[in-house]
Structure 1
Amino acid sequence: MADAYKVYWQPGCTSCLRAKEFLKEHGIPFESINVREDNDAMADLARLGAMSIPVITRGDDFAFAQEIRDLADFVGVKLTRAQLPPAELNKKIDLILAAAQRFVKQIPADTLRVNLPGRDRNCLDLAYHIFVIPTAFLDAVRGGAVTFEHFERMPPPEFDTVEKVSAYGQDVRKDFAAWWREGTVPGTVNTYYGVQPTQGVMERTAWHAAQHCRQLMTVVANAGLEPDGPLGEAELGGLPLPDEVYDDEVPMQAGAAANG
């Protein structure tokens, strides 16, 4: 009998959630391992040579699940979905970042330092993280790489207000627009999960940031406020977003502190 699939994930992780939903959509059973609750999980992955998540394993074989294409290849599913062209992705990334700037300013002061469920990440950290996502992409297309360290970054001490984080977001938007105007899009980029087609990483940049924007919208809504210019199908259509906003196993209760 073949070994069962295992998926290593953590709450609030966009690629983790998308990977789990993809497997369920295709009727592929798997063991779900939350690395925040399983003390042996990261050591098990390290023995295989995997140092980040999400990861899917089967016996001693594994694949990084950041890209759905890689996950599909690992489980033997043929993908038929077409990716949006770079020009359309560029437009979506800009409007997503603009939305994040609006939403972060709406987070109430008494919510800023509240941890999200199952994570050592608070609401201000989440907002900052959204703007690091396109920064990672820009580093890669300029000859560097998308690293796991990018996504572990926390706001520097001076970014202690929503206004400062929003201003940082504006700087990132300007930098992204400047790169796009240069008109140089390499065919591939380096990432911590391998050399990847630039279009795929650009698409992931868009939906990764968009998914966290949806989480920010939930934070605002849970505070009893109406998100300023909420994102919907008109803005996000065509992106491979998960169905759930936070996680299918850990519900998002942004108004209450979480353990873990």
Structure 2
Amino acid sequence: MRLQDKVAVVTGAASGIGKEIATVYAREGARVVIADLNAEAATTAKELDPSGERAMGVAMDVTNEQQVDAGIQQVIDRWNRLDVLVSNAGIQIVAPVVEFEFAKWQKMLAIHLDGAFLTTRAALRQMYRQNSGSVIYMGSVHSKEASVLKAPYVTAKHGLLGLAKVVAKEGAAHGVRANVICPGFVRTPLVEKQIPEQSRELGISEEDVIKKVMLKETVDGEFTTVADVAETALFLAAFPTNALTGQSIVVSHGWCMN
């Protein structure tokens, strides 16, 4: 198994992409931490390992410094190491720039960027002590491209590329790698919510949102799947050297090819 006895923290892992990554990591032998805002963290951990020996749930608001530091410390207290951090927690709010509420802008950036920073900082303290680790950020095709109605999301996802590059350079001397996964549209609850929202904002049908907006630039008109993203996260977590660090991997059915 490719992650045998590694300890992995996945934020936003009670559902969607994060849950699938946690599931794949557990399958590959990792001890998995489900870090999530809601009470489902413990439930998801129990699903992965009913014995409770190789999975644990941690309640964590990634924008709260104290909760992040305390949650990571719980992991270290239990398993005395931390090998993989997947910074996956995120939300989506769509609106034109001219109408975007500042409070919603701040909320979006806090979850995506502050959350990535706080969890990274807490994880690196342990990774540096053990002289090894892999940090994986959940970016997006919107780390490289832009779409209407998504100003804070695009801004935040671009920002993760910069953070990953800095962590890759600073972490190299401590055996720590940092990379970004950039999925296309994955049909999670987050994307399902966007379909009617964009339909209203753009004045087109939900079917046209899917075909003419979300999947227009793909090579095959298909959504990226949670399995596609999880297998990429496994590849990055298990990669054996610093040869692959400071990089972004696009998983988008050809929507973005850079």
Does the pair score TM above 0.5?
no
Greater relative contact order structure (CA < 8 Å, 6+ sep): 1
Q: Which is richer in strand?
A: 2
Structure 1 length-normalised TM = 0.32
